[in-house]
Each structure stands twice: as C-alpha cells, then as structure tokens.
Amino acid sequence: MTGKTLQAILTLLTIAVLILSAVLLAGIFFPEDRIVTPRIDPVVSEKPPIPVTSSYLFQEGMVTISVSVNSSVYEGAKSADKSVTIIGNITESDWIADSYRAMVDDPAQESLYQDLLFGFRKIRIEKDLDSDEYLELIAVYVQSLQYETFEENPAKFPVETVVDRAGDCDDKSLLLAGLLSREGYSVALLSFGPENHMALGIGSDDCQYRHTNYTFLETTNVSYVGVVTEKLGTGVSLYSAPIIIPIGNGDTTYTRCADTRYIHETMVQSGQSAKELESLLEVMQEDLKRKQQEILEMESRLQYLRSAGNVRQYNALVSTHNTRVSAYNDSLRSYQQLFTRYEKYVMVHNYIIDHEYDRKGVLHYIKMNLPV
C-alpha cells in the first residue's frame, strides 16, 4: 500500500468520524421532535376484579351495564403520570391531540372497551335499535355518569371514569370517544382551550358544528345529539374554535339531527309561548276578579232593594246583573281555554327537558300534546 493510498484512507476515516460526531452532537443538542404521552403501566396486584354496574334511563325504561374491571389496569391508570413531555418544536394542537389519543387508545384498556360494548350490543339486539339509537344508548350511558371536577384535575383514562362512575368534560368525552370509535362511528374530541371545556363531535351531514364535519354532543349531562351547550356551568358561553381531534377511522354518521333540532326548537318555542300566555292569563285573571267583585256588589244591592220592597229599581237592576253575569261567564270560559293551552305548552316544554334520554319518545309526545 502506497503512502498516498494510506493518506487517502486516513482522510476518509477522519471525515467519517467527524460526520458521525456531528450526527451524535445534533442528537444531543437538537433532539428529534417527539411527544411523551401518558400511558398505563398495569401494577402487580392481587386484588380481585372490580365489579361496576351502571343503571340509567334510556327510551322507555331503565337499562343496566355491568363489567368487571381489571384491578391492575385501574391502579396503573390511577398512578400514571398524566403530564405530557414535549421535545423539540411541537405545536400546541399536536401535543394536545397526541396526548388525548394516547389516553383513549391505551392498549391496556382494550378488554374493558370490549366488555362494555358486549353489554351495549346485547341491549341493542333486545331493543332492535338502529345505528342512531345505538349511538344514543352509548352516549346516554356516559352522560348519565356523575359530573365532578376539581381544581387540580388532570384528565383521567377512560378506565378510571368507568370505575369511578364520575368525571368532568374531558374524562367523559374520552370514554365516549373510545366506545363510539370502536363501533365504527365517525367521532372527534372538540377541545375548547380558552373555555377549558371539551365536547364530542359526531360525524354528520346535517347540523354541523361551526362548519366542521361533526355535530355537537355534550357529555357532562344528558342532552340531545346536535344541541349545542349555550352556557357552561361557570356561565361562560362557548366562543372559541375548538381543536378537532379525530379518534379512530369510523365512518358511521348520525342522521337524526333534524329530529333533535325540531325537539330543541319546540322546547324553546313552547317555553316562550307559555310565558306569553302566562302574562295574558294574569291580565285576564285580574279582569275576572274585577267583574266578580262588581257582580257581588250588584247582588248585595239587589238583596237590599228586594228587602226594601223597591220592585221597580230591583227589576231594572236584574237585567244589568244578568248581562254582567253572562259577560263574566264568557270571560271565564276564555280564560279556561287559554289556561288549558298554557298548561299544554308547559307540559311539552318540561317533558322535553326531563326526557332527553328518549329522543324517539319525545317526538311522539310532542306530536300528541303540542297545541295546534
């Protein structure tokens, strides 16, 4: 080997070392962009499975979902670090989306999802539910769980929400997203940062929320699909554009927004009609009291004239008395008819609010009881 050849080899080796060093240094000082998301590490536990039973109103009666939750998974979720570590140049929307997806889809929870869905599918068969009603069945289950929140309250894994049978807006939304996505529905988390709120988006061709491909579904309380929360518990209205976080690859959409929109509009209009009639009834009631008092005074006068033997004045006053009694009875009938209409508006308004777990039944009730 010549000296020139040896020199060339040494030069190439030096360049290779420099390149390798540069790569290693870049990895130290300029690490690859990545997000370390929360995860469940099941703990070693000899505790038996945790039985969880939830009963709630749906359509015409109560339904019950029962599962046995792996204690190791639950304890692992409880003790998990819920913080998110961001390395490199990651946008806020990206790390928020990745962290929530990781919590929804953590593989340690998969058996829980399947156990819950086994129960839901059984109810679906028993009640012969279509895809929209089946979505409502699962949604009302999550909505019916107790709402609770604390000042220091990181998001829970869905397994925690199931066992605790309670959670706040993001806890319940994560659970519902996990369930619906595994049944092939098009779903997304809607994260409202400024308002510190989360709801669920359901794929829909109708009543889309803010020109998205999703309709709005509140998870903190039982409510109709597609009816947007007007004010949060803090009194704040939703005003910001949410971060949209699709979960899963489902394509089944919700098709009953026309129904829920009609129900909501009827609730609002029946409430307004009841208030308007209430004001009119108060005026009519005062008028009836006045007419009744005039009639009583006239009857007292008639009694005096008759006892005094003043036949001429008595007979003249009888005709006026009878006219006033007839007018009073006409006004009373009008009042009673209007009051019946008022009662129907109140009944429809309250029924809609009290039966948000039964879209199908509420539509029938409106048809049978809403004043024409």
Q: What pLDDT score was predicted for residue 23?
A: 41
Q: Are residues 189 and 114 in the same domain?
A: yes
Q: What is the DSSP letter of 252?
A: B
343 and 358 in a single domain? The answer is: yes
Last residue of a domain, one of 192, 223, 255: 255
Residue 44 lies in a domain: no
Tell how strand 146-147 and strand 166-167 pair up. Answer: parallel
Residue 6 pLDDT: 44
Task: Give the pLDDT confidence score for residue 9 in this predicted structure.
Answer: 43
Based on the fold, state whether residues 145 and 196 are members of the same structural domain: yes
Strand partners, 166: 146
Residue 188 located in a structural domain: yes
Q: What single DSSP character describes residue 153?
A: -
Indicate whether 338 belongs to any domain: yes
Report how far residue 195's alpha carbon sits from residue 190's, in angstroms, rounded to the nearest whole number. 12
Given a contact cutoff of 8 angstroms between Cβ atoms, the answer to whether 285 and 335 are in contact is yes
Based on the structure, what is the number of domains in the chain? 3
Domain shared by 189 and 76, yes or no: yes
Largest CA distance in the chain: 156
Q: What is the distance between the alpha carbons of residues 296 and 251, in angstroms, rounded to a whole number?
A: 73
Same domain, 77 and 176: yes
The Cα 270–Cα 263 span in angstroms is 10
Domain containing 151 equals 50-255
Is there a single domain that holds both residue 245 and residue 271? no
* Stretch (H or E) spanning 317: helix 311-354
207 & 289 share domain: no
* Residue 51 DSSP one-character state: E
Are 82 and 222 part of one and the same domain?
A: yes
Asked if 117 and 225 sit in the same domain, the reply is yes
Q: Tell me: do 251 and 319 sit in the same domain.
A: no
The reply to whether 24 falls in a domain is yes
What three-state secondary structure class fits 166? Answer: strand
Phi and psi at residue 179, to the nearest 5°:
-70, -50
User: Where do we find the tokens 């009827």?
Assistant: 266
- Give Cβ neighbours of residue 72 (< 8 Å, ≥ 6 apart): 42, 43, 44, 45, 47
pLDDT at residue 7, rounded to an integer: 55
Q: Does residue 191 form part of some domain?
A: yes
**What pLDDT sits at residue 31?**
57
* 149, 289: one domain: no
What DSSP string describes 188-235? EEEEETTTTEEEEEEE-SSS-GGGSSEEEE--SS---TT---SS-TTS
Rounded to two decimals, the pTM is 0.84
C-alpha angle 283/288/292, rounded to 5°? 150
- Tokens representing residue 37 in the block: 């998301």
Same domain, 112 and 232: yes
Domain end among 255, 290, 320 = 255
Q: How many helices (H) and strands (E) does the chain have?
A: 10, 10
* Tens digit of pLDDT at every position of the chain (372 positions): 444 444 544 454 455 444 444 444 444 455 567 888 899 998 887 889 999 999 999 999 999 999 999 999 999 999 999 888 888 888 888 889 999 999 999 999 999 999 999 999 999 999 999 999 999 999 999 999 999 887 677 899 999 999 999 999 999 999 999 999 999 999 999 999 999 999 999 999 888 998 888 999 999 999 999 999 888 877 888 889 999 999 999 999 999 999 999 999 999 999 999 999 999 999 999 999 999 999 999 989 989 988 988 888 888 888 889 999 999 999 999 999 999 999 999 999 999 999 999 999 999 999 999 988
